[in-house]
Amino acid sequence: MGEKVGQLIDYIPQLALADPDAFGLALISMDGHRYSAGEADAPFTMQSVSKPFVYALALSVLGLDEVCRWVNAEPSGEAFNAISLERATGRPANAMVNAGAIVTTALIPDTADAPRFDRILDCLSRFAGRQLDVDEAVYASEVATGDRNRALAYLIRSTGLLPVDPVASVETYFRQCAVRVTALDLAAMAATLAHGGVNPLTGEAVVEKAVAAQVLAVMATCGMYDVSGDWLLRVGLPAKSGVSGGLIAAGPARFGLATYSPPLDPTGTSVRGRRALGALSERLGLHLM
């Protein structure tokens, strides 16, 4: 690709080893047709792209009102790792920023027959339509360096809004971030949300239609952090970015779309992914308006 765009992240050292030239794109339609270009089969970790799907699991288990007691659904207008906690209550702004995602993960039930992370991995796998696994090296790398997220968890715990030990809850969150996918997997996951919770590849109803709609709404308003408004204005699709270079967008009742390209802009968004989805939206008229 030649031209150098964006920066590989280095606060999770293992992610700085990614190939800066890798690029993959995949689209899956509501009838399960798969379209792809470039390295759509290249593996990478989900990072923040996991957040909407774990939010979907929390909504499925607890319902919207109970989840909203713990995590709000307002855009923070701040970076993904900011201390985005409501001044009066300490409640995280939304489930797309780290603070909210740490709480969302902690809300997933943890029982002897179904440990919290097993439930999360099972749910992510159903969204993808195949069994996913964890990149242990990326997980270990984030455990070794994740003091900011641990600090966020302790802050939230101090307000009484984290139902689990801070270190344990952040470790489960890091594991979910280290789940390995491809652009094709992410397109299937986004397509499942776009298809009212039914995976168009497997036909499985992964979550209820109302839950899929709730998740897409929060992706539309909060999924791109402090550039969510500009993204919805220009690209016009609910979306979610991740610092390993994954980016998903969903066209409700139309398609799931995903890109992979590791170099990021300062907001933690894949530069090429943003350009590719922006260009596709414009050329194919994908904007929801």
Shortest reach from residue 261's CB to ligand DON, in Å: 13
Residue 176 in contact with ligand DON, rule: CB under 6 A: no
Rounded to whole angstroms, how far apart are CA atoms 171 and 235? 34
Question: Catalytic annotation on 29?
Answer: no
| Crossing angle for the helix pair 209-222 and 51-62, to the nearest 10 degrees | 140
Asked if 20 contacts 8 with a C-beta cutoff of 8 angstroms, the reply is yes
Shortest reach from residue 283's CB to ligand DON, in Å: 25
Residues 177, 218, 219, 235: which binds ligand DON (CB under 6 A)?
177
Q: Given CA atoms 27, 195, 134, 131 in this order, what sign does their dihedral have? A: negative
Question: Catalytic annotation on 260?
Answer: no
Which of 76/149 has CB closer to ligand DON? 149
Shortest reach from residue 198's CB to ligand DON, in Å: 27
Question: Catalytic annotation on 48?
Answer: yes
Residue 172 in contact with ligand DON, rule: CB under 6 A: no
Asked if 50 contacts 108 with a C-beta cutoff of 8 angstroms, the reply is no
What is the x/- site pattern for ligand DON, positions 231-250, by CB under 6 A?
Answer: ----------xxx-------
- Would the annotation count 199 as a binding residue? no
What is the x/- site pattern for ligand DON, positions 63-92, by CB under 6 A?
Answer: -----------------xx-----------
Q: Which of 49, 225, 240, 260 is an active site residue?
A: 225
Shortest reach from residue 8's CB to ligand DON, in Å: 13
Asked if 192 contacts 211 with a C-beta cutoff of 8 angstroms, the reply is no
Smallest CA-to-CA distance from 46 within 279, 265, 258, 271 is with: 258
Asked if 212 contacts 56 with a C-beta cutoff of 8 angstroms, the reply is yes
